[in-house]
Amino acid sequence: MRAEADRAVCVGAGMCALVAPAVFGQDDDEGRVVLLDARPADGAAAREAVRLCPSGAIAVRA
């Protein structure tokens, strides 16, 4: 599995960092998503983060 994050699309809602903190974080300045682990071991958490993200800024691919 691969995780991706598009900082240009992110609105800084923070759901991803709450649900999958090993995969997604937020920068200190704007609160936009930071990809912490592009090959997450916990796919379920990463998928849930994608489901909850309001902007469609993150994705996971097989």
Residues forming contacts to ligand SF4 in the complex (CB under 6 A) are 5, 10-16, 24, 26, 33, 53-55, 57-58
User: 18 or 41, CB closer to ligand SF4?
Assistant: 18
Sign of CA dihedral 30, 49, 56, 1: positive
**What is the smallest separation between the CB atom of 62 and ligand SF4, expressed in angstroms?**
20
Interatomic CA distance for residues 1 and 12, integer angstroms:
24
**What is the smallest separation between the CB atom of 52 and ligand SF4, expressed in angstroms?**
6
Phi and psi at 2, nearest 5°, equal -120, 140
